[in-house]
Structure 1
Amino acid sequence: MTGTTNGTSNGAPGGSKRPVRIAGASGGFSDRQRAISSLAKLDVDVIVGDWLSECTMTLHGAQKVDNEKLRAEGKLMEEPVGLFDPTFIENLAPALPDIARKGIKVAVNAGACDTALLASNVEAEVRRQGLDLKVAYVEGDEVTDTVNRLIKKGEKFTSLMTGEDLKDWGYTPIYSQCYLGGAGIAEALKNGADIVVCGRVADAAPAIGAGMWWHDWNRDKDFDQIAGSLICGHLVECAAYVTGGYFSGFKRLMDGCNNLGFPIAELFADGSCAINKEPDTGGEVSVGTVASQLLYEIQGPLYYGSDATANIEGIVMTQDGVDRVRVTGVKGYPPPTTTKVGMTAVGGYQAEFHVYICGLDLEAKAEWVEKQIRYSAGDAVKELSCFKFSLNGYCPDNPRNQDVATCDLRVFVQTQNKKLVDKSTLDVPGFNRWCMDNGLQGCPGWTLGNDQRQSEGKLYYEYYVSLLDQSEVQHRVVLPWLDNKSIDVRPSTDLKVYPRDQPSYETKDAVDLKQFGPTTRGPLGWVVGGRSGDKASDANVGLYVRHDDEWDWLRSLLTIDKIKYLLDEEYKGGKIERFEIPGIRAVHFLLRDHLDRGFNSTSTYDTLGKNVGEYLRAKWVDIPNKFLARGRF
């Protein structure tokens, strides 16, 4: 693939070999809306952004199915809205004059389930401002018909999480969307696009596309370089996560935490990168913050993408100045023959009820309430797929006020029977009434939550993740300014079959923990940082230390059995996989099927797996005193 910009060869203006400067403007729909406008004022070449997650894919996909049904029934009179990120135009519009004046390229996945419509809206905004910018879009991620056809042909679609086949899932997919790589984005930029709007390209794909275009990489051979861009994209895809968001050392960043800076990556021709951040903002770019983001939502030593596979075991991060970290050591392999596909199904209805209990004997009080509510539910429990009671919080010794002595008893239900959770008024039989019935029979310290809206049932969705052959994907680029010319984007000619399970191992040459001297018992997080995240029902967690001698201690301490012990009641009995990244002193664990399905259907508070790491950091271990003398996270 060849690439040009400003009419020159080799990508960079004037034919130079300088790195492409890629600014990360969004990590999700809840990110700061100032980002694109702020970054467009800086010296950057490409602005990328990620607006999608499994949550938004599911909700947008389900809404698209509903819209199509209403349209078929003649009930949908207007053009549907809400099938792409609703905030994107407001984020982009103020930046357009700078983007046009400075020749900055933009590549984003905000199109969700209606990419062509969002691209059309962007075009309209460009015209409204009187600017000359070409808007392309990438399609092919929606694969509902393809998945249904393959199901009829007997395709098993084995779950990446549980290893079970789709037929055993118990739900019928209504919408399917696969993950595209960055090659389509590169093709759009090669053909003169200024703004490339995508649907479900992978989070890192915009950075991969920018690197392919700028550096003119051969996508069938240059796997080290493309894999490096994959990791570069992963580091900036969540915006401020790499500049201090969710960082274990957050306390030292308190000054300026009101406005963390967005990241800017320099992606070099060899695939290595340097991470920086916008000036005059809070947060920091350090080996700690960058290592934390690397560890977020990875699955093992191999990071799979549709354009390349990256091996991150040998990655090295070096502090290369204030707010600048150089990232090297990524090894590239051919991409897999498959890409990830997510399937959405209607799960049923869910609701929750909250009782506040206070003071002493909290577990006994919670048991009292649970027995009474289960008695009130009677035989209706047979129609519940989930009926869960969880006591959250505790009353400290000699509490300083009543609020801190009060805990939340959450009652959560899921059912196919909508009538059981249909209304939340006090006179309707069903879930709300089961909980309300016992108010005057309650335990001491029982208090009714004053907002009953959560006890009214809401539709929820199940999400299933499997693999789809890349040969089944119709990946293409559409260029509206050339009479809607479309360009098919083929997979790489060099693909490889990888096993479902990645390499997992305990440490080599473990050391005797006694050699580290006297210890103090305390939270692991006093000296260990961590990050965790979700991939459907799998949870990953990476734990790392700051000093070389601490690395020998960490890798020897954190065995798979030790993690099971530290998880305590949170360990669900699933498989745990382990590997190490010595270059950032990190041990990584993948907790298979740990999260009670995923964001849209989970019954837990930790809907995204982000709290697994902090839970483990709060668990107590024996910590060498010499480590504590250096100061805590």
Structure 2
Amino acid sequence: MSRPVRIGNVSGFYGDRIDAAREMVEAGEVDVVCGDYLAELTMLILAKAQDRDGGVGYARTFLTQVEQILGSCVERGIRIVANAGGLDPAGLADAVRAVAAGQGITARVAHVEGDDLRSDLSAISPPVEGAPVSANAYLGAWGITEALAAGADVVVTGRVTDASLVVGPAAWWHDWARDDWDALAGAVVAGHVIECGPQATGGNYPFLDEITDRRYPGFPIAEVAADGGCVITKPDRTGGLVSVGTVTAQLLYEIGPPAYLGPDVTAHFDTIRLEQAGEHRVAVTGVRGSPPPQTLKVALNETGGYRNTMTLVLTGLDIEAKAVHAEQLLFGIVDRDAFDDVDVRLLRFDRPDAASNAEATAHLRITVKSADRRVAGRAFSNATMQLALGGYAGFHTTTPPTDASAFGIYRPARVPRSAVAHTVVLPDGERRTVADPPAFSPTDSQVSAPVRIGEQSKGATRRVPLGAVAGARSGDKGGDANVGVWARDDAGHAWLASFLTAGRVRELLGSEAAERDVEVFELPNLRAVNVVVHGLLGDGVASATRPDPQAKGLGEYLRSRLVDVPEHLLP
């Protein structure tokens, strides 16, 4: 058995910390550097960039990182793998070659393509209407594996799954077979942990008291062993924390049911076991895998129209009455029915007898959408300014009148594997079709694991924030929001799993979740439950009108709610 392969992540999104790559190469002692650049929203951004004259459809920041590290990586045998190719992986591969030539470096560059389905949408289900600006299947890891086996120093891809950036190098390093389900599933879990960069090393972590080194967190490293188990760590002498808690938080980020479907394997998150294996070292073991589904996930981005938001400031007394008056006046000036959608939210930040002017204010946030840019543009925002002298007492806005901006709509779909030409282009130019897995699961559905409903404690309770006994991390999955909630010990999990039902989630999240379909899944090995609130984010982040369009703060809101907690669980 070969030693574990050390894979370091240097990007969690397009626009992440540029210096992470140089820091990882200099201090991480890694075999592979990987980076994730492609969120669902990023594909829309890249499509717009590609559509402009002279525009490119890949993540430009990756090239800046390559300029900084390529020489060191080639000299030391460190491979670079990234999905920064976006909508033009071939173009990015050429750009990397140009960087290498400009620095006098001989670098073997390969790329993976075939995910872009815009030229033929006929096999996608549900059927696609119109012409989406992007339509990308989520490819797996084996194209990356074949490129590395052919000697590539740099492999760039389009839309592969985030975890494939780790699965591909691990399968190459350990020479896994395509049906080594458990090993592949373990690598998927490792990839899921490190794909969002420092979120695994103390970033966005709810228990700040646990993080004694408050410097910017070091980016994560996964040491993936031959059996698929791994150790999560970070470069020495970098900030942050790697603990069972920080790894748990990232494992729960943006997932659904415990059966985590991927193009190469289904990883069963309810089999994951975590153990602190040293300072800033967490061992991940026990992951079981099974065959993947027969179809691939597809991310569609469509043009949605135009939107505009104006925020009116309300101060002092009679906040609700002022808000009603302002809304009535505004839609007496402009016809409410002229817009395709109107979203009005009163955001209460004010407090009685405030110590400062700012603390006495609330916001009336009004967003309109229309297929016609003129309707949603200055005609709307200028109308709000007509309230300046004829509206409520203390009228002012947070911005001057603004023009409308285009927004997109995200739609998830699926496509048969036979309709996707997963292709790797090797450093010598050879084009090779990447074979499908040798077996598939009998269903494309994620099997729900119902939450165990136990008896509530009959002992004394105290009304405290849920966050006194539980951590949470939340995010977006298209139009759905996910909140992973975990306890710090077994007793806390036993209570949490019986307490946090779908009905309780609706109650705690308030009016915007009251009528939503809510699913709750138990992950006992992680002392956690995962909550999915369907439809909370509408048509995805690009079109959402809620103030937190990606549900990043939803978990912290849930933790802030007062609940009756058994006293024996409290510190």
For residue 258 of structure 1, report the CA deviation from its aligned partner: 4.1
Match of 2:15 in 1: 30
Task: Choose the corresponding residue for 2:214, options 257, 263, 266.
Answer: 257
Letter in 1 for 2:117: V
For residue 499 of structure 1, report the CA deviation from its aligned partner: 4.4
Question: In the aligned structure 2, how far is the partner of 1:560 from the partner of 1:192?
Answer: 50
- Cα distance 1:166–1:488, how it changes in 2: closer, same or farther (>3 A)? closer
Match of 2:267 in 1: 310
For residue 97 of structure 1, report the CA deviation from its aligned partner: 2.1
Instruction: For residues 312-335 of structure 1, give each alpha carbon's deviation from its aligned partner in whole angstroms, at most 9, with x where no partner exists.
Output: 112111111111100112110001
Question: In the aligned structure 2, how far is the partner of 1:497 from the partner of 1:405?
Answer: 59
Match of 2:150 in 1: 191
For residue 519 of structure 1, report the CA deviation from its aligned partner: 1.9
Conservation of the 8 A alpha-carbon contact between 1:383 and 1:416: no
Question: In the aligned structure 2, how far is the partner of 1:460 from the partner of 1:40?
Answer: 38
For residue 504 of structure 1, report the CA deviation from its aligned partner: 4.3
- Alignment of 1:584 with 2:526, yes or no, is yes
For residue 304 of structure 1, report the CA deviation from its aligned partner: 1.1
- Alignment of 1:104 with 2:63, yes or no, is no
Instruction: For residues 294-324 of structure 1, give each alpha carbon's deviation from its aligned partner in whole angstroms, at most 9, with x where no partner exists.
Output: 0001111111111111011121111111111
Match of 1:200 in 2: 159
Conservation of the 8 A alpha-carbon contact between 2:162 and 2:191: yes
Question: In the aligned structure 1, how far is the partner of 2:56 from the partner of 2:329?
Answer: 42
Question: In the aligned structure 2, how far is the partner of 1:470 from the partner of 1:500?
Answer: 16
SS of corresponding position for 1:228 = helix
Instruction: For residues 22-58 of structure 1, give each alpha carbon's deviation from its aligned partner in whole angstroms, at most 9, with x where no partner exists.
Output: 1011100131111111111231111111011111111
Task: Choose the corresponding residue for 1:45, options 31, 50, 61.
Answer: 31
SS of corresponding position for 2:270 = coil
Question: In the aligned structure 1, how far is the partner of 2:492 from the partner of 2:214?
Answer: 28
Instruction: For residues 193-215 of structure 1, give each alpha carbon's deviation from its aligned partner in whole angstroms, at most 9, with x where no partner exists.
Output: 01101111111111000111011
Question: In the aligned structure 2, how far is the partner of 1:250 from the partner of 1:364?
Answer: 40
Match of 1:526 in 2: 468
Match of 2:419 in 1: 472
- Cα distance 1:580–1:190, how it changes in 2: closer, same or farther (>3 A)? same
Question: In the aligned structure 2, how far is the partner of 1:269 from the partner of 1:82?
Answer: 38
Structure 1, gaps ≥5 residues long: 1-15, 68-75, 159-164, 424-429
Conservation of the 8 A alpha-carbon contact between 2:260 and 2:446: no
Question: In the aligned structure 2, how far is the partner of 1:260 from the partner of 1:177?
Answer: 32
For residue 191 of structure 1, report the CA deviation from its aligned partner: 0.3
Question: In the aligned structure 2, how far is the partner of 1:98 from the partner of 1:135?
Answer: 16
Task: Choose the corresponding residue for 1:369, options 326, 334, 344.
Answer: 326
- TM-score, normalised by the number of residues in structure 2: 0.96
Conservation of the 8 A alpha-carbon contact between 2:472 and 2:484: yes
SS of corresponding position for 2:367 = strand
Conservation of the 8 A alpha-carbon contact between 1:62 and 1:344: no
Question: In the aligned structure 2, how far is the partner of 1:201 from the partner of 1:431?
Answer: 41
Question: In the aligned structure 2, how far is the partner of 1:188 from the partner of 1:44?
Answer: 19
Match of 1:486 in 2: 431
Q: How does 1:313-352 map to 2 (within 5 A)?
A: 313-352=270-309
For residue 421 of structure 1, report the CA deviation from its aligned partner: 2.9
Instruction: For residues 321-373 of structure 1, give each alpha carbon's deviation from its aligned partner in whole angstroms, at most 9, with x where no partner exists.
Output: 11110011211000111111111211111111111111233222212211111
For residue 252 of structure 1, report the CA deviation from its aligned partner: 4.1
Question: In the aligned structure 1, how far is the partner of 2:425 from the partner of 2:475?
Answer: 34
Question: In the aligned structure 2, how far is the partner of 1:59 from the partner of 1:544?
Answer: 34
- Alignment of 1:420 with 2:365, yes or no, is no
Question: In the aligned structure 1, how far is the partner of 2:446 from the partner of 2:76?
Answer: 46
Letter in 1 for 2:439: D
Identity %: 37
Question: In the aligned structure 1, how far is the partner of 2:138 from the partner of 2:455?
Answer: 42
Match of 1:113 in 2: 87
Structure 2, gaps ≥5 residues long: none
For residue 439 of structure 1, report the CA deviation from its aligned partner: 1.6
Instruction: For residues 457-500 of structure 1, give each alpha carbon's deviation from its aligned partner in whole angstroms, at most 9, with x where no partner exists.
Output: 111111211011112111111124x1x21111011121224243
- Alignment of 1:503 with 2:460, yes or no, is no
Q: How does 1:102-501 map to 2 (within 5 A)?
A: 102-147=76-121, 149-150=122-123, 157-158=125-126, 166=128, 172-219=131-178, 221-253=179-211, 256-378=213-335, 381-423=336-378, 430-452=379-401, 455-480=402-427, 482=428, 484-500=429-445
Match of 1:4 in 2: none
Letter in 1 for 2:451: E
Question: In the aligned structure 1, how far is the partner of 2:549 from the partner of 2:525?
Answer: 31
SS of corresponding position for 1:590 = strand
Alignment length (residue pairs): 570
Conservation of the 8 A alpha-carbon contact between 1:62 and 1:175: no
For residue 293 of structure 1, report the CA deviation from its aligned partner: 0.2
Question: In the aligned structure 2, how far is the partner of 1:496 from the partner of 1:531?
Answer: 30
Conservation of the 8 A alpha-carbon contact between 1:360 and 1:395: no
Conservation of the 8 A alpha-carbon contact between 1:596 and 1:604: no
Question: In the aligned structure 1, how far is the partner of 2:546 from the partner of 2:447?
Answer: 27
- TM-score, normalised by the number of residues in structure 1: 0.87
Question: In the aligned structure 2, how far is the partner of 1:441 from the partner of 1:261?
Answer: 54
Conservation of the 8 A alpha-carbon contact between 2:201 and 2:240: yes
Question: In the aligned structure 2, how far is the partner of 1:500 from the partner of 1:333?
Answer: 13
Conservation of the 8 A alpha-carbon contact between 2:213 and 2:241: no
Question: In the aligned structure 2, how far is the partner of 1:54 from the partner of 1:572?
Answer: 27
SS of corresponding position for 1:245 = coil
- Cα distance 1:524–1:40, how it changes in 2: closer, same or farther (>3 A)? same
SS of corresponding position for 2:16 = coil
- Cα distance 1:139–1:373, how it changes in 2: closer, same or farther (>3 A)? same
Conservation of the 8 A alpha-carbon contact between 1:49 and 1:206: yes
For residue 433 of structure 1, report the CA deviation from its aligned partner: 2.5
Letter in 2 for 1:467: R
Task: Choose the corresponding residue for 1:593, options 535, 540, 546.
Answer: 535
Question: In the aligned structure 2, how far is the partner of 1:128 from the partner of 1:103?
Answer: 20
For residue 256 of structure 1, report the CA deviation from its aligned partner: 4.2
Conservation of the 8 A alpha-carbon contact between 2:339 and 2:376: no
54-63 or 305-314, which deviates more: 54-63
Instruction: For residues 403-449 of structure 1, give each alpha carbon's deviation from its aligned partner in whole angstroms, at most 9, with x where no partner exists.
Output: 122222211010012221344xxxxxx20132111221222232233
Question: In the aligned structure 2, how far is the partner of 1:251 from the partner of 1:388?
Answer: 38
- Cα distance 1:103–1:597, how it changes in 2: closer, same or farther (>3 A)? same
Question: In the aligned structure 2, how far is the partner of 1:394 from the partner of 1:302?
Answer: 40
Letter in 2 for 1:486: R
Question: In the aligned structure 2, how far is the partner of 1:470 from the partner of 1:624?
Answer: 50
Letter in 2 for 1:437: Q
Question: In the aligned structure 1, how far is the partner of 2:561 from the partner of 2:534?
Answer: 21
- Cα distance 1:501–1:317, how it changes in 2: closer, same or farther (>3 A)? closer
Question: In the aligned structure 1, how far is the partner of 2:495 from the partner of 2:371?
Answer: 50
- Cα distance 1:44–1:229, how it changes in 2: closer, same or farther (>3 A)? same
- Cα RMSD of the aligned pairs, angstroms, is 1.7
- Cα distance 1:460–1:325, how it changes in 2: closer, same or farther (>3 A)? same
Letter in 1 for 2:201: T
For residue 574 of structure 1, report the CA deviation from its aligned partner: 2.8
Letter in 2 for 1:21: R
Question: In the aligned structure 2, how far is the partner of 1:372 from the partner of 1:609?
Answer: 32
